Amino acid sequence: MIKGIIIVNNHGKPRLVKFYQSVASEETQQSVIRRIFQQVAQRPDSFCNYLEGIIPEWGENIKLIYRHYATLYFVFAVDAQESDLGILDLIQVFVEALDKCFENVCELDLIFHSDRVHYVLDEIVMGGMVLETNISSILQAIQDQGKMHSDSLRVGQGQADSADSTRQRLGAGNNW
């Protein structure tokens, strides 16, 4: 199970934090983020991308699996049952999806579009379990969400849309 996902820059500033196993307080969360960053950042890029982490809040046998892209560390904290190579592949899928959504994703995209970044992550991982690894399916779901969002904006700007036509577009028909 995935315990947490953290994206942090080279200076230790968190850009995305998602805990799937509870961490008591905000102070403890900050401590976990700091501890993870210290363990990952001190390793040269030539070393392997996974290590046994020491995260007392999540118990023993926690693995930190990470990739360092430009100015960002993408870190997944997982339990011993998760495959190291599977999680590395999952990180690659996540980064590719972000790259397609933002056309060459950068740190500023994560800051100013955090809602979209969380949506992409939620298409891949939910509740600490991997939902989807197929990049095409992930991108299609993101496109569908974007279309629904733009449709809702159009409706809000005065173009009346009846409840029946909305049901038809969503495939519910008259069953509601």
| pLDDT given for residue 160 in this prediction | 46
Confidence band (pLDDT; 50, 70, 90) for 152?
A: confident
User: What is the mean predicted confidence (pLDDT) over 152-160?
Assistant: 65
CB 49 within 8 A of CB 12: no
- Chain segment 7-66, per-residue pLDDT in tens: 999 999 999 999 999 888 899 999 999 999 999 999 988 898 989 877 888 888 899 999
Q: What are the distances in angstroms from CA 89 to CA 45, 95, 142, 168, 172? A: 17, 10, 20, 38, 36
Confidence band (pLDDT; 50, 70, 90) for 162?
A: low
Q: Which of 41, 35, 101, 34 has the alpha carbon at shortest distance from 66?
A: 41
Minimum mean pLDDT among 4-13, 83-92, 115-124, 166-175: which range?
A: 166-175
